[in-house]
Amino acid sequence: MKFGSKSAAPPPGKRPHSDAWFARAKKVTPGGVNSPVRAFGGVGGTPVVIRSAAGATVVDVDGREYLDFVGSWGPLILGHAHPKIVAAVEAACRRGTSYGAPCTPEIELAEEVVAAYPGIEQVRFVSSGTEAVMSAVRLARGATGRDLVVKFSGCYHGHVDYLLVAAGSGLATFGQPTSKGVPAELAALTRVLPLDDTAAAEKLFADEGTKIAAVIIEPVPANNGLLLQRPEFLQALRALCDKHGALLIFDEVISGFRLGAGGAAAHYKIKPDLATFGKVIGGGMPVGAFAGKRDVMKNLSPEGGVYQAGTLSGNPVAMTAGLTTLRTLQKEDGWRRLESLGAYLEQIVAPVLAESPVPARLCRLGSLFWVAWLASVAPRSAEALEPRAAGVYARVFHALLDQGIALAPSAFEIAFLSLAHTKRDVDRLAEGLRAALAAAASPAQ
């Protein structure tokens, strides 16, 4: 059922069945959702409840079809319900959904990851990006014998207790809990630095370098806008870690195997000591992983004293989905095609934003893109973001949704292209934005 066609779908802005399902959800699920941003808290209104998806579109329970640029928040690089993924998962399920023992798909996927990503020799699979980060940091602490971890304001690494922190005052600060339930004593083991500030990092290492186990960063920060970093800043972090004996962890849960087979590490030509993955390597199934050099990974149980385990780690169905995804990307020249489509999006959308009645700047890297609202230049740090952008975006978001175009329900979440998207889809997004921006600039803003 096409959006806008003569059908039983309700008019724009009206989703009675979604409203009814969400009312039911709120009775049995906190906030009506199983992940907070889905609740539309950043844009207002009632979430769209999805019935099905295929290719570049999702269909809600009211029968309305949306051109989807959320892509399940990044994993669906081939698009929804890709035929090869569906066929491979169906075949895997017939062989058994879980073994609790080694299986061939996990070994094959490990070989693919190790062969593709710069500088790593071994990988351990888990079931989520959060679990991957938690395990990587524990491994770094065990391997170095140190306790302090450095993160950056504007980077999100899952809901690990000691990484749910924000900076206090000053350039290099003790972490302060940003969630109830996180003990201050745990947050005190984390230092928080601003992105794109080499001087702050140098000062912290000068003061506490012998205590720092690891520096963790999204080399492509993509959880608080797309805050693209200068290569020189990432290179400075690599040099500081080398000088002081700390491990550099690249959180590539979003960027890994999306920018290319080698992720941000290959893009920037910087090898981390550890890397974390998720999303794309699961092909739409729950998968995470952390990887590194053998001399670091050997500290992990059962070889070493750093314990980590998981009942569904290396699940055969999830491993098959991930393996099929990576092989399809390779066989179909996927990363080059996505870069080409991303370049086309930039060519088409940037002029629309340049004519916008409200300042807006397109930020793009490969198949990742984001609009920095009320910004004349691309921000590189969380501190450079404009808080008032949320109000503008809420209006743009709903205007696009009414046109059958779905972006993330937050001004600071990014969008994703997939191999299922076409130039025609990008053209539709550009025209939708043109109309939405007119609404955003209305006197009611």
How far is 53 from 61, CA to CA, in rounded Å?
11
Number of helical H runs and strand E runs in the chain: 13, 17
Is 180 among the catalytic positions? no
Residue in 66, 156, 268, 393 annotated catalytic: 156
d(CA 58, CA 383): 34
For 229-256, letters b (16+ CB in 10 Å) and e give beeebbebbbebbeebebbbbbbbbbbb
What CA–CA distance (Å, rounded) separates 292 from 301? 14
Q: What is the dihedral of CA 420, 421, 423, 426, to 10 degrees?
A: 180
In angstroms, rounded to a whole number, what is the distance separating the alpha carbons of residues 307 and 305? 6
For the chain, give the longest Cα–Cα distance: 68
Beta-carbon contacts of residue 10 (< 8 Å; ≥ 6 apart) = 16, 62, 64
Q: Which runs of consecutive H residues, i.e. helices, occur in 145-288?
A: 184-187, 198-208, 231-244, 263-268
Residues 379 and 367 sit within 8 Å (Cβ to Cβ)? no
Indicate if the alpha-carbon torsion angle 40, 44, 46, 52 is positive or negative. negative
Indicate which residue of 279, 393, 402, 425 is catalytic: 279
- Can you state the percent helix, strand and coil of the chain, rounding each to 5? 40, 15, 40
Give the pairing of strands 65-68 and 405-406. parallel
Query: What is the rounded CA–CA span in Å between residue 130 and residue 24?
Result: 28
Question: Letter for the amino acid at 379?
Answer: P
- Residues in CB range of 302: below 8 A, 6 or more apart: none
Nearest to 420 by CA among 2, 76, 65, 70: 76
Angstrom CA distances, 2 to 293, 380, 404, stand at 50, 39, 9
Q: Running DSSP on this structure, what letter comes out for residue 304?
A: S
> Is 279 designated active site?
yes
Concerning whether 151 is annotated as a catalytic residue, the answer is no
Nearest to 210 by CA among 263, 284, 144, 301: 144
- Give the span between the Cα atoms of 326 and 50, in whole angstroms: 26
Q: Which of these is catalytic: 60, 62, 251, 402? A: 251
User: Which of the residues are catalytic?
Assistant: 156, 251, 279
